[in-house]
Amino acid sequence: MTNCAVILAGGQGKRMKAEMPKPMFRVLGEPMLEWVISACEKAGVDDICIVKGYKSEIIDEYIGNRYKTALQSQRLGTGHAVMQSVPFLEESQSENTLVLCGDAPFIDSETIKRSLDEHIKSGNAVTVISACLDNPCGYGRIVQSENGISAIVEQKDASEEQLKIREINSGCYWFDTKQLILALSKLECNNAANEYYLTDTISILISQGQRAWAYMTENSEVVLGANDRKGLLALNDIARKNVIEKHLENGVEFTCTDGVVIERDVEIGAGTHILQGTVLSKGTKIGKNCVIGPNCIFENAVIGDNTKLNYVQGYDCRIDDNVKIGPFVHIRPNSHIKDGVKIGDFVEIKNSVIGENTAVAHLTYVGDSDVGARVNFGCGCVTVNYDGINKNRTTIGDNCFIGCNTNLIAPVKLGKGAYTAAGTTVVKDVPDYALALDRGEFRLKDGYSLKKLGEKATREN
Q: Answer whether the bond into residue 294 is a cis peptide, omega within 30°.
A: yes
Q: In this structure, how many other beta carbons lie within 10 angstroms of the beta carbon of residue 394?
A: 23
Domains of the chain in sequence order:
3-223 (3.90.550.10), 229-436 (2.160.10.10)
Instruction: Give bridge partners of residue 366 from the DSSP assignment.
Output: 349
Note the pTM of the prediction, 2 decimals.
0.90
Q: What is the pLDDT of residue 457?
A: 62
Q: Tens of pLDDT along the chain (461 residues)?
A: 799 999 999 998 889 999 999 999 999 999 999 999 999 999 999 999 999 999 999 999 999 999 999 999 998 999 999 999 999 999 999 999 999 999 999 999 999 999 999 999 999 999 999 999 989 888 889 998 888 898 888 888 888 889 999 999 999 999 999 999 999 999 998 877 788 999 999 999 999 999 999 999 999 999 999 999 999 999 999 999 999 999 999 999 999 999 999 999 999 999 999 999 999 999 999 999 999 999 999 999 999 999 999 999 999 999 999 999 999 999 999 999 999 999 999 999 999 999 999 999 899 999 999 999 999 999 999 999 998 889 999 999 999 999 999 999 999 999 999 999 999 999 999 999 999 998 777 777 888 777 877 777 677 65
Q: What is the pLDDT of residue 157?
A: 82
Q: Rg (Cα) of the chain, in Å, rounded? A: 31
List the alpha helices (DSSP H) in 215-319: 229-249
Sign of CA dihedral 40, 44, 45, 46: positive
Q: What is the pLDDT of residue 460?
A: 67
Any catalytic annotation for residue 336?
Answer: no
Would you call 161 exposed, middle or buried from its count of C-beta atoms within 10 A (0-12, 13-18, 19+)? exposed
Q: Give the span between the Cα atoms of 379 and 347, in whole angstroms.
A: 10
Nearest partner of 177 among 87, 262, 102, judged by Cα: 87
Q: Give the span between the Cα atoms of 106 and 241, in whole angstroms.
A: 13
Q: Which position among 119, 273, 336, 362 bears the catalytic label? A: 362
Q: What is the pLDDT of residue 352?
A: 98
Q: What is the pLDDT of residue 147?
A: 84
Instruction: Give bridge partners of residue 131 from the DSSP assignment.
Output: 168
Beta strands in 146-218 (DSSP E): 148-153, 167-176, 212-216
Q: What is the DSSP letter of 428?
A: S
Q: Give the span between the Cα atoms of 272 and 252, in whole angstroms.
A: 5
Instruction: Give bridge partners of residue 7 from the DSSP assignment.
Output: 50, 100
